[in-house]
Structure formats: structure tokens, C-alpha cells
Amino acid sequence: MAIERTLSILKPDATRRNVTGAINERFEARGLSIVAQQRLRLTKEEAERFYEVHAARPFYESLVAFMISGPVVVQVLEGEGAVARVREIMGATDPEKAAPGTIRKDFGLSVEENSVHGSDSRETAEREIAFFFSEIEICP
């Protein structure tokens, strides 16, 4: 499998509880390298644009409000099959439905406050990496 890069965001519920290090350990233990990382606060406009595919969903406004409620850590993760691997390590969107040992199962608070974002395809990863890290190569 090819070495890929993907985008992850440690969400405000994770920064608030100081579990970003514990979450990063999960990624690193599974062979992913953090090749870029920044802690920042999203503006409302950035959060709206990042999640614009969900604009018609009933939870969109609430999701945007949550994502700007505190700092986030945006990061580029690199490794073999990184896009799928990160999704696997994160677990299902709803922590209650996530498999044992996944980040969302162990750290998520609710279907919204689920601690972590990971790009859902290689195409999305390219777009999402460029969104935050215009200076970073999309491919290793």
C-alpha cells in the first residue's frame, strides 16, 4: 500500500480536556507520522467553509458553533494507507457505535463532540490539507 498523507483535526472537546497528546499517541503507535501540526482557533467562516458539504444537514449550525467553541489542532498525518488507517483508528462518527479501542469510543463525548476529524478519501485529503497547509506537499 502506498504512503499517503491525510488531514486530521483534534476537535475542541479534545483540546479542552487536554487529551491531544493521548490521541496523538494512538496515531503514532499505529505507524502514522505527524508531518505538520498547528493549534489554532477556526473562524466561523472557516468552519462553515470546511464543513460546507453538510450545509443542508440539520446539525450544521450546531457543528460550526462547536468547532469554533475552542482551539483545535490541525495536523497532516503520513503513513501507509494513511487515509483509511486514520478512519479506522478514529472509529465510527457516533462514539456509542464506535468499535472498542478506537479514539472516538475512548475519548468521544457525543455524535458531535467526537474528538477527532479525519479526511474520508484521498481526494478529500488533498483538499483538506490544502485548506490548512498550503505550503505542505499533498504527497510525501
Give contact residues for ligand GDP (rule: CB under 6 A): 59, 62-63, 93, 111-112, 114, 117, 120
Q: Report whether 128 contacts 7 (CB < 8 A).
A: yes
Sequence-separated (6 or more) residues with CB below 8 Å from residue 114 = 11, 13, 93, 94, 95, 104, 108
Catalytic residue among 5, 11, 85, 117: 117
Q: In this structure, how many other beta carbons lie within 10 angstroms of the beta carbon of residue 44?
A: 11
Q: Taking the complex as a whole, how short is the minimal distance between the CB of residue 135 and ligand GDP, in angstroms?
A: 25
Q: Identify which of 120, 38, 39, 36 has the alpha carbon closest to the alpha carbon of residue 78.
A: 36
Q: Between residues 54 and 137, which has the closer beta carbon with respect to ligand GDP? A: 54
d(CA 116, CA 6): 13
Is 117 catalytic? The answer is: yes
Longest alpha-carbon distance in the chain: 38
Query: Shortest distance, CB of residue 77 to ligand GDP, whole angstroms?
Result: 15
Q: Least distance from C-beta 105 to ligand GDP, angstroms?
A: 13
CB of 99 to ligand GDP, least distance (A): 13
Q: Which residues are catalytic?
A: 117
